[in-house]
Amino acid sequence: MPARPSEICLRLNIEALCAYLDAEKPLLPEPDEVHRFLDAVNKYGKHCSSTGEFSLSLEELKKSLLDPACPKFYRERLSSPFVQLSIFKNFSNAYFRVPVEDFQLVVETINDYVVERWKLTAYAATNGRILGEKDMNEYLTAFIREYANFPEEDVDYALCIYRSKFSFCLDGAGTSNYQIKDLLSSGLVREMRDSLALDSNNWFSKTNLLRILGEFQALDTNQDGLLNYEELKAMEDVNPEFVYRLCQKKMSFENDGIDFGAFCTYRLAMDNPHCLATCRYLFDIFDGDGDGLLTIEDLRALLVALRKKLYEREYMDIPKSDDVLLAEMLDCVGCADLQRMSLKQICRSGLAHVFLRIFVNTEEFINYDLRETEPEKDPAGPISSRLYP
């Protein structure tokens, strides 16, 4: 589920609200005390007649802090004019009222932020600020064993699931180093904790682990724990040239195939098509020589293989030649006159996620090809906002 704008603001500013709390961590209230206070806040909120939001004015917020259910820890700190000014600056509407749920989110996040920062610091062996690959594995393994309640035989698979998302979202350079402030402000630690209660659409959930592991094992016909090119080609609707390049870029264990961790990253990219990290991931696989630029030859090879697969599916309605079709697709992202293009140049159009996925998936290509006769299927969105020629 995408973060609300107010959550994004909170992630950017919560460090300023919490920086001075760490020294008094032992004074943090117990979770049940926090929940009682969050429930009590509701009786002070009112429906704003102008916006329809259930919200708090500054005076109502102050009254909620005087409620007997409010722990002393929060009363002392959230009563600070600096904190209240920060809350209203970041979360209030034009009528200077803060949505009740946003104020509750502030309280929850302060609590989570302080507790998790101390846990993460304990695992940061180098300097207390950065978790290396080994540190991160230890932190995630401890969380999985203590909270996630996976069977012991699934712990290694769960670690791959957990690690893949942190790496995918926060380690674009591939350094395997994670700053604690980035881990906390990204919201991923909170998402990881939410998976314990919300099991349906959460990447870290047991349901998702079973889904991804089931797909991997179904493809692994020789049961060696790796997926080779022939096994990956069995994926329906996926361009075989893309599969070949995926194997070349992500191959492990002496070129025998991609492991479960690499497969997790692939599925994460396919499940999050609008994410910039997905565009970066696909661009890296498309980039044959790894120089950070896509060439016409890179894209033509992908397009030829894609059309061949479409013919195998008996989708014959592609009258245009490869060069004409490729030029048209490049024109969609403003790169028709370029022989070599960077990810930044492709992203300027706002359609990078559509453009890159067309070369990966036959269904995406068919939707693109039918955009004029069936605009409701256009992967770029509603006809009113389409940028295709």
- The closest of 158, 18, 129 to 78, measured between CA atoms, is 18
Are 300 and 306 a contacting pair, CB within 8 Å? no
CA angle 46, 49, 51 (to 5 degrees): 95
What pLDDT shows up at residue 17? 56
Q: What share of the chain is helix, strand, coil (3-state, %, to 5)?
A: 60, 5, 35
Using DSSP, state whether 55 is helix, strand or coil. strand
CA 60 to chain centre: 36
Instruction: Write the CA distances from 179 to 121, 149, 339, integer angstroms.
Output: 10, 27, 38
Q: Using CA atoms, how far apart are residues 21 and 78, in angstroms rounded to an integer?
A: 11
Q: Which long-range contacts (CB under 8 A, 24 or more apart) does 272-280 make?
A: 273/353, 273/357, 274/353, 275/169, 275/353, 276/347, 277/168, 277/169, 277/172, 278/353, 278/356, 279/343, 279/346, 279/347, 279/352, 279/353, 279/356, 280/172, 280/343
- Walk along the chain (389 residues) in steps of 10 and give the mean pLDDT of each run: 44 56 68 86 84 86 91 82 78 81 80 77 82 93 87 91 93 87 81 74 88 93 89 87 86 73 92 86 87 87 85 67 77 77 84 84 78 56 44
Instruction: Write the CA distances from 389 to 35, 198, 336, 348, 378, integer angstroms.
Output: 53, 42, 12, 16, 12
Are 107 and 38 a contacting pair, CB within 8 Å? yes
- The closest of 101, 1, 97 to 56, measured between CA atoms, is 97
What pLDDT shows up at residue 14? 57
**Which residue reads 């507790």 in tokens?**
115
Using DSSP, state whether 389 is helix, strand or coil. coil
What pLDDT shows up at residue 220? 92
Q: Do you know the residue count of the chain?
A: 389
Q: Reading across the β-sheet that carries 54-56, which strands appear in turn?
A: 46-47, 54-56, 98-99
- The closest of 116, 114, 34 to 74, measured between CA atoms, is 34
